[in-house]
Structure 1
Amino acid sequence: MSDDLPVVEPAESFAGEADGFGRLWTPHRMAYIKGENKPSHDGAGDDCPFCSAPKRSDEDGLIVARGTHVFVVLNLYPYNSGHLMSVPYRHVADYPELTSDETLELAQFTQRAMQVLRTAMAPHGFNLGINQGNVAGAGIAAHLHQHVVPRWGGDTNFMPVVGHTRVLPQLLSDARSQLADAWAAVG
């Protein structure tokens, strides 16, 4: 073999030496990091995931419950398992734009989401919040939504802080099924 040609090693040699560390791969998060499927403008319609989700089946749209003015959906990029969002059907960006009926049902669905999560997943606490505008952390600022994030002691360990990785022990489809069943059971 000529000295000026590179030596091509088999793919297995790039795996490295075993070092005792486990690896968690979350390739689905790359879509979020790159901003894929994020609406390209502030308009409603198929470009807005919160406008298009109710047009799908509950399973395909990850919808847990539907009301008259609001629906509850699993977050596609959750902070924790069971991370829900209460979302008005109407495409509005700002909380003061909600009608009285929408405001009431949004609050009621947020309360019920907490009850359902307590029944189904027994969290130790919750983070509730509405991020108004991109600068405030809204991933989809054009369509108002309220987060209901279940929290457990120790869920903010080294993984998200050091590894920028969330460990989610349940598939979204399984969580949606579990929470939809609990929604129907909680009176």
Structure 2
Amino acid sequence: MTHPDAHGTVPGTVPVGGWTPWGTWDPAAGRPAAVPVPPVPAPAPSRVLPAALLAGGVVVGLSVAAVVGSLVLRGAADDVGRAAGAAMGESMGQSMGEALYGGAATEYHGSGGVLGPVEQSEPVPPADLGPDPVLDAYAQGCFDGDLQSCDDLFVESPPLSPYEEYASTCGGRVKAWTVPYCTDLD
């Protein structure tokens, strides 16, 4: 005869519930009954894919329409801008000519691009125009007769500076702002 162990189980037997103290399952003790799983119905035809394709087609169509529309409008806007700019340029050119030259001449005459005849005088030596040695060299070249130095001085000098004013007179040869470029005086 066999005696029960510390857990109250007789060796070689299986306690009620199916589990032994050492963790094995006794198939004779029974297993839980399997729960029947209802069959999964076949999926209904999807409406998501056709809707997604339709939405994608709409987005692509709108994108193409936006690109084409912007190109058409851009071309039209460029044409309108050019026409407005040309009209303003003509209008301002006449009024600027009248303002600067007393209305006497509004077209370029001669080959130098100078507006009408320009009264010239002897050059004036540059005074103390500022502390910049490069601009001082341009001013001296302008006084010495290098009219390109006058134009370079104008381009390189700070706005509204004595250097710019001296360059606008081509070294004292003309009234300020009389010619667009001193090299036009050649």
Fold conserved between structures, TM > 0.5: no
Per chain length, whose mean CA-contact separation is higher, i.e. which structure has more relative contact order (CA < 8 Å, sep 6+)? 1
Question: What is the TM-score of this pair, normalised by structure 2?
Answer: 0.22
Q: Which has the higher helix share?
A: 2
* Rg (Cα) greater in structure: 2
Question: What is the TM-score of this pair, normalised by structure 1?
Answer: 0.22
